[in-house]
Amino acid sequence: MCPDGLRTVFVLSASALLLASCASDHTAALATKADRSDAATDAGELYLGLATPTDGFQIRSVGADIGPGEEKEYCEAARFPGGPDDEYYVSLVELANGPYSHHLGLAVATPGSDAEAELAALGVGNHKECPGPLLVFGGGIDIVGTIQVPLGEAVLPQHVARKFHGGQYIVFDYHYANVSTDVIHARSVANFHEVAPSSVEHIAQLFSLNNVTIDVAPGATASFTGECHFGADMMVGGFTRHTHRFGKDFSVWYAGGPNDGTEIWTSHDWQTETEFLFPDPVMLHAGEGFRYRCTYANDKTSELRFGTSVLDEMCMLYGPAWPVTDGGQLDLPDCNITWVDDAGIGHSATEAGGFPKPSVADVNLCTNAYGPSIDDCSKCLCDACATAGMKCVKDADCSPLLQCYSACTDLSCATSCESVLDQHTSGAGMFTELMECAKAGCPACVPGGTPSSF
C-alpha cells in the first residue's frame, strides 16, 4: 500500500470513529453557556437545572475537575438502579451538563457485551479520557441521546419506549472546554421518565447516518449530500441533526419510494434547532430511506474536514425507529457515507454499486509495494481499496492514524493511539473511508469488522 510495505491490523470499526465525538461545540460559543445559573442546585431542588422526576429516577455523574484553559472529554461509568430482574420502560430522557460544556452523550452497554466488561473493569464513578464510548469500550454500546446545549432531551412518541434493565451500565460522555480562569467541575445528569409496560407497543432503537466526506477549502462554503436506505419496513419518530459551529442549513428528504425527493425538514441553526419530531410516526418500506445535506461556511485559514475536534466538522442524522409489527427487532447498522457518485450524492460502501474500484495503476502500485510475498488478503485489499489507501498514506493527518493503529491487536490501542488521534483529528474521515472500503471489499479478511491486513 505504501512504499515501505506497511502492513496494518485495524481494530476500530468506522462507526467507532464516526461516533467518537457525538458532539463538539466551538469554544467561541461557550461563554454564553456559562451564563446559565445553577443557584438552585445546592438547595436540593435542581441539579444542573433538572429536578428528580416523579415518574422515574435521576442518575448523576461524579464528574471531574478541568483546569483553566483545558479541554477534556471523559467517559464515566454509571449503572441503573436495581438488579437484572428490574425493567425500565423509558419514553423521555432529559440530559444536562454544566457551564463550559461542549456536549453530553449518554450511552448504555448491552448486557454480556465487551462494553459491559470494559465498564465493569473501569468501575462505577470512575472516568477515563476518551473521544467517545464506541471508540473506547467496543461492541455493545448503544447511544441513547446527545445534547449540544446545557439542557436537552430525547423524547419518544406515545406507546414507544426504550427498555433498560436494573444494573445495566451507563456511559456519561461529557466534553468540556474551560475558557475561564478558574478550575471548574465538569458534571452531568440524566433523568429517566418511565411509562407503564402495558402502555408500550414498540421498543425503539437508534438509526444513524454519518457522512465523513466533508472537505471545505479555506474561506469557502460547500454542501455535502448523502443518502441511505433501510433493509426492512420500519417506523420513524423523528430526527436529530449534528454538526459543529461551521454547520449552516441542514435539510432532509425522503429517498426512494413514492415520496422520493420530498423535503421533510430544514434546520438553520446547529445548536438550538437540532430536533424534528413527526406529527405522527412515518412508515418506511424496505429499500426506502433518507437523503440529507449539510452546508458549511469555513472561516478558517485551513481545510475543514470530518473529525473529532472542535475545529473539525461532522454531518450526522440519527433518530428513533422501531419495527412495524409488535415485539420485533430491527437490524440497524450505522450507515457511513464514504464515497460520492458523479451526481454529487454520497453513499455507503455497500450501496449504489459500492465503493468505486481503484484504477489499474493504483492497484499495481499497491501490490508492487508488497512484492512477491503478498498474501491473499493484502491482494484483495489492494484490488478493492488501493486508491483510498494511497490517499490516506499521502495525507499528513490520515497517515499517522494508519501507522499507529497498525500496532493494534485489541481495544487497548484506543488508549495508546489516543494522543495521535488528538493531534490528527481531521484524518478521521479519510481513515474511516479506508476502513469501510476494506470491510465491504474483503469481508473474509475482516473478522468481526476489522481488516486483518493491509
Owner of C-alpha cell 437490524? 331
Nearest residue to 80 (alpha-carbon basis) of 192, 222, 225 = 192
**Cα 223 to Cα 294: distance, rounded to the nearest angstrom:** 5
SS3 241: strand
List the beta bridge partners of residue 215: 305
pLDDT at 447: 57
Cβ atoms of 310 and 102 within 8 Å: the answer is: yes
**Cα 451 to Cα 434: distance, rounded to the nearest angstrom:** 10
Output the CATH code of domain 20-200: 2.60.120.310
Cβ atoms of 15 and 336 within 8 Å: the answer is: yes
**Cα 76 to Cα 13: distance, rounded to the nearest angstrom:** 22
79's CB contacts (< 8 A; 6+ apart) are: 124, 167, 168, 169, 170
**Phi, psi (5° rounding) for residue 287?**
95, -15
In the chain, which segments carry CATH 2.60.120.230?
206-333
Identity at 196, one-letter amino acid code: A
Grid cell locating 18: 464516526
Q: Going residue by residue through the chain, which has 454 residues, state the pLDDT in tens, using 9 for 90 and above.
A: 333 332 332 322 332 333 333 333 332 232 233 333 333 344 457 999 999 999 999 999 999 999 999 888 899 999 999 998 999 999 999 999 999 998 899 999 999 999 999 999 999 999 998 878 877 887 788 889 888 888 999 999 989 999 999 999 999 999 898 999 999 999 999 999 999 999 999 999 889 899 999 999 999 999 999 999 999 999 999 999 989 889 999 999 999 999 999 999 999 999 889 889 999 999 999 999 999 999 999 999 999 999 877 789 999 998 999 999 876 778 887 799 999 999 999 999 999 999 999 999 999 999 998 888 889 988 999 999 999 998 999 999 999 998 887 766 555 565 677 788 888 989 999 999 998 998 899 988 865 444 444 4
**Residue 178's CB: how many other CB atoms inside 10 A?**
23
pLDDT at 6: 28
Grid cell locating 348: 455507503
**Range 206-333: architecture per CATH:** Sandwich (2.60)
**Cα 135 to Cα 227: distance, rounded to the nearest angstrom:** 24
Strand 202-203 and strand 316-323: the pairing is unpaired
Quote the pTM value: 0.82
In the chain, which segments carry CATH 2.60.120.310?
20-200
SS3 184: strand
The H or E element that residue 1 is part of is none
Identity at 417, one-letter amino acid code: C
Nearest residue to 256 (alpha-carbon basis) of 224, 233, 222, 223 = 233
pLDDT at 415: 65
